[in-house]
Amino acid sequence: MMMRWNRVFRVCCSLLAIAAASHLAGQQVSAGTVTDTGQATFQAALQPGYFSESFGSVALGASSPQNVSGGGYTISASTGNGSDFYNAGGGIWLSTNDGGVSMVLTFSEKVPTAVGGIFFDSDMSGNANGQGVTVQLNDGTTTHLSSTTSTSFAGFISDVGITSLTITPNNPGPNLCTVGELIVPLGSEPSSLLLLGLGRLGLPFAAARRRRSRIAN
């Protein structure tokens, strides 16, 4: 009985430590934000539902900005230099038409507290160049994705609204900034989403602490 309560106590301590770390990070970037690179676990945190946008309605050569709507959201896509969009991969993905140019996705009507997507750099044919992209939220939270492919995922769960995100190729050369899919929740409060994210990340930390404890003993 005592061993079971010790395990519960350690798990709780791990979760509290992670929550404190997230809180400190939040003080630096104006929000408590959890970053997840697993699409399946991210989507599970958004249950009972989420909206997925692939930007298939944006035509080849469409001018910037372009607006799409769905799930109660209006998403505005714009290029960093005001140039046109290009449909990399024959219209499968949305990409910039100029190499090294960033893409900005802005939310209106409804502001999500979680955003995930497929983010990578590509050539004109839609082939992933594998040199990576950087994703930055409006609160300053930044994730660097290296060696990206056409399935590279990054998800963010925040305790405040995510009004925009900027995707920039890591290589300023000919690489096109490309978004394959964008995922946002249909419901749920910020606090519950953040707790789900912390809980998911907390379990591996708790397991690691138990292993270290057994070795020490």
Which tens digit of pLDDT belongs to each residue from 187-207?
Answer: 755 555 555 555 554 444 334
Asked if 141 and 156 touch (Cβ cutoff 8 Å), the reply is yes
- Angle, vertex CA 65, rays to CA 59 and CA 69, nearest 5: 70
Task: Tell me which of 11-20, 103-112, 198-207 is least confident.
Answer: 11-20
- Angstrom distance (rounded) from CA 35 to CA 73: 22
Residue whose C-alpha is closest to residue 92's, from 176, 25, 174: 176
Asked which of 35-49, 82-96, 132-146 is least confident by mean pLDDT, the reply is: 82-96
Angle between helices 2-29 and 190-216 (to 10 degrees): 130
Residue 144's pLDDT is what? 93
Specify the pLDDT at position 56.
79
pLDDT tens readout for residues 25-72: 332 333 477 887 889 888 888 877 899 998 878 877 888 899 999 999
Domains and CATH numbers, the chain: 32-188 (2.60.120.260)
Express as a percent the part of the chain with pLDDT over 70: 69
